[in-house]
């Protein structure tokens, strides 16, 4: 909270009280609900296609949560960096949810590593948008990823509103489990995360493991950390007896066994582990391996852009190129069809804050084989909805995959367990959890404002 030693700052803190409904106080059993929030997503737009570039699970999270918050009467304005001069300044994503494209630096050609140099320009654009509104337009800021957190930290102090932050990934955790050949996260990011985590009024973690990382590695105050698990669209991602049709639709073999990888193609996500496991499977059990097709669905991202054909080159070098199919990123019903077309979905990530792909696949009734890291330990129930693998040794992955591919009855058991497990997660539950965080942050902030204003006026 900034100091309130001038009339402008004092007035802003008074006006901030207009940003939410204070008719019901905590003593009456209900906390105030913000009418309008500013969501910050600097480095990737919720309108972008997940699975390539920097677009991934965070994009899905912001879209799904925003829609459900709007359905609960909370207007959401999402600020993201404009990446094309042809983008309109404001886009209505759905009733109650707008996306604001902020000009900050060149429209194209900026990597995520270069974006911190544009945070000042982006912050200016966010502050400028609020300045054109009536005082108290936004009741709360929710930032996603550390760069957005830097903007939220400054905007929150300027507007006199609470700042809620979700990290999604943490540099210290990623660097501890870095994939071979990947680049470590820079020191500047570590420092930036430390600053945001120290200053945010409330921190939202995807799992209890991420909450432990925030406290253990970043010294976050435990009372400011709340676990709110992500969800899955249970209407779109659900079982259907359409495997043959789904495979035809995607150009996959109607017979045989399919193991799918869905996600951005970069060392962090570990698709190379799956390709190497296929080669190991051919060595161990050539008869079974002849039935297997590995599908890689996604586009290059992060350090994967350095060698965009690396997986193709690896498959050719290992002699399995004939059994590896590459698909561009899929969305909506096409993505659900891919999950249903697969016998197994592999998630060999080296680090995951949660792992939405695993949850979506299970909701479609497809068992998941995942690395026992981060949020995947929560997203996959080992032995019930899939199998968790310790480490990333292709020999271990080949062994686990082979055991399941040879056992259709076991896969059927896991399929039923996967659907049951996925029903424990929904975006509605996520939105409700966030609303509780928002209400508490608004209530505490209001009490702090009242206390400080009383002191200033005394």
Q: Annotated binding residues for 1D-myo-inositol 3-phosphate, as ranges? A: 43, 54-59, 112, 145, 169, 189
Distance in angstroms (rounded) separating the CA atoms of residues 353 and 421: 18
Residue stretches of the annotated binding site: 43, 49-50, 54-59, 112, 145, 169, 189, 264, 269, 330, 339-340, 342, 352, 360, 366
Residue with tokens 């802003």: 12
CA–CA distances in Å: residue 241 to residues 19, 112, 175:
48, 41, 42
Q: Whose CA is closest to 177, among 405, 423, 384, 352? A: 352
Residues marked as binding for UDP-N-acetyl-alpha-D-glucosamine? 49-50, 57, 264, 269, 330, 352, 360
Please report where in the chains the tokens 């200033």 appear, as a residue.
456
Nearest to 163 by CA among 171, 155, 175: 155
The answer to whether the CB of 93 falls within 8 A of the CB of 77 is no
Name residue 102's beta-bridge partners.
Answer: 81
Contact 55, 47 (CB under 8 A): no
- Specify whether the CB–CB gap between 135 and 12 falls below 8 A: yes
> Could you give the CA distance from residue 63 to residue 67 in angstroms, rounded to a whole number?
6
Q: How far apart are CA 229 and CA 93, in angstroms?
A: 23
CA gap 71, 75 in Å, rounded: 9
Mapping DSSP to helix (H, G, I), strand (E, B) and coil, where does residue 247 land?
A: helix
Structure tokens at 189: 């990011």
Of 417, 343, 342, 363, residue with least CA distance to 386: 417
Rounded to whole angstroms, how far apart are CA atoms 312 and 250? 19
Instruction: Spell out where 82-233 has E strands.
Output: 90-94, 97-102, 140-144, 163-166, 202-205, 225-227
User: How far lies 415's CA from each of 178, 262, 443, in Å?
Assistant: 31, 18, 44
Q: How far is CA 434 from the centre of its chain?
A: 15
What's the Cα-to-Cα distance from 361 to each of 52, 153, 380, rounded to whole Å? 18, 36, 10
Cβ burial, residue 109 (10 Å; 0-12/13-18/19+): exposed
């Amino acid at each position: 909270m900034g100091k309130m030693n001038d009339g402008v700052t004092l007035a802003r803190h008074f006006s901030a009280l207009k940003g939410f409904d204070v008719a019901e106080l905590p003593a009456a059993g209900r906390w105030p609900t913000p009418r309008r929030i500013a969501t910050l997503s600097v480095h990737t737009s919720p309108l972008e296609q997940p699975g390539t570039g920097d677009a991934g699970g965070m994009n899905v999270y912001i879209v799904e949560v925003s829609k459900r918050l709007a359905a609960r009467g909370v207007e959401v304005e999402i600020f993201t960096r404009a990446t094309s001069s042809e983008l309109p300044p404001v886009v209505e994503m759905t009733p109650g949810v707008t996306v604001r494209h902020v000009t900050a630096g060149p429209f194209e050609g900026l990597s995520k590593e270069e974006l911190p140099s544009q945070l000042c320009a982006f912050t200016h654009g966010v502050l400028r948008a609020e300045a054109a509104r009536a005082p108290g337009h936004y009741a709360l800021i929710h930032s996603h990823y550390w760069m957005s957190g830097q903007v939220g930290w400054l905007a929150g102090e300027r507007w006199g509103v609470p700042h809620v932050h979700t990290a999604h990934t943490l540099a210290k955790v990623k660097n501890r489990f870095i994939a071979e050949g990947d680049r470590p996260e820079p020191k500047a990011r570590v420092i930036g995360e430390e600053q945001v985590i120290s200053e945010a009024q409330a921190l939202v973690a995807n799992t209890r493991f991420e909450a432990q990382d925030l406290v253990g590695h970043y010294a976050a105050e435990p009372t400011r950390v709340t676990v709110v698990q992500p969800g899955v669209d249970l209407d779109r991602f659900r079982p259907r007896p359409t495997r043959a049709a789904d495979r035809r639709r995607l150009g996959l073999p109607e017979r045989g066994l399919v193991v799918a990888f869905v996600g951005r193609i970069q060392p962090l996500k570990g698709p190379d582990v799956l390709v190497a496991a296929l080669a190991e499977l051919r060595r161990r059990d050539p008869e079974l391996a002849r039935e297997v097709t590995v599908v890689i669905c996604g586009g290059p991202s992060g350090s994967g852009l350095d060698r965009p054909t690396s997986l193709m080159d690896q498959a050719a070098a290992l002699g399995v190129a004939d059994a590896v199919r590459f698909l561009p990123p899929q969305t909506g019903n096409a993505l659900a069809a891919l999950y249903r077309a697969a016998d197994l979905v592999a998630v060999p990530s080296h680090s995951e804050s949660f792992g939405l792909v695993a949850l979506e696949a299970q909701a479609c009734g497809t068992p998941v084989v995942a690395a026992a890291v981060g949020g995947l330990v929560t997203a996959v129930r080992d032995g019930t909805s899939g199998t968790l693998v310790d480490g990333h040794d292709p020999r271990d992955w080949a062994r686990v995959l082979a055991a399941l591919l040879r056992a259709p009855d076991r896969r059927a058991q896991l399929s039923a367990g996967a659907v049951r497990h996925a029903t424990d997660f929904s975006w509605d539950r996520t939105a409700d959890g966030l609303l509780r965080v928002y209400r508490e942050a608004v209530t505490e902030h209001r009490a702090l404002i009242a206390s400080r204003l009383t002191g200033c006026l005394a």
